[in-house]
Chain A
């Protein structure tokens, strides 16, 4: 089944404790992206990747890192999480970054930073 998977689905952590949220897609997509979703603000793009080893900042990259060492994986790293990073995170992928390519979203990761 074609899908985007994320792990963990739920995470409660404390300020300053490094964490990684994994994202994997099995559709051979070139483009991958991370979003956070907060009430009243909608989805905001954190980072995106056009291909292996090619990543760039979205609108809210502060406090996050990403890597794209393999086409299928695009982990999101929080080196020192803070409470304002409590949010619902979605990973997404599309075939290319071309205009008509829809994004397929993972199931989401709900992160709470205490």
Chain B
């Protein structure tokens, strides 16, 4: 079956670093995406990994291990505005279907 697992909620302190994990079991794999979704808003793209390793983009980094079916999103120098849900998504082999995890709600406290 197809399954993507993420923690439901996490809490972190402003200025700190937080790592959000994602494990996946899918019938095919053609890339892994992370999206950010603020409450009541649409998801917006954060990062994309298709090869193993770390992709860095400012305060956000994303890591992928295809052999382990594992990814994480690393957020550094947390700000209050980073309080949001973070969605892990896998694109299938053909590229047409995308499977999303249920999302991780991150609370950043002062």
Q: B-contacting residues of A (Cβ < 8 Å)?
A: 31, 33, 35, 40-45, 48, 50, 56, 58-59, 90, 96-100, 102-108
Contact = CB atoms under 8 A, between A and B. Distances in A.
Nearest to A102: B45
Interface of B: 2, 4, 30-31, 33, 41-45, 48, 50, 87, 89, 91, 94-103
A107 B99 contact: no
Contacts of A59: 2, 97, 99
A52 B9 CA distance: 40
Given A90-B42, A106-B42, A42 B100 contact: yes
A44 B103 CA distance: 12
A48 B97 contact: yes
10 contacts: A42-B102, A45-B97, A58-B97, A59-B2, A97-B95, A97-B96, A98-B95, A99-B31, A99-B91, A99-B95
A35 B66 CA distance: 26
A59 B95 CA distance: 14
Contacts of B2: 59
A33 B43 CA distance: 14
Of listed A35, A90, A102, residue having the most chain B CB within 10 A? A102
Given A100-B31, A102-B33, A107-B42, A42 B97 contact: no
Contacts of A90: 42-43
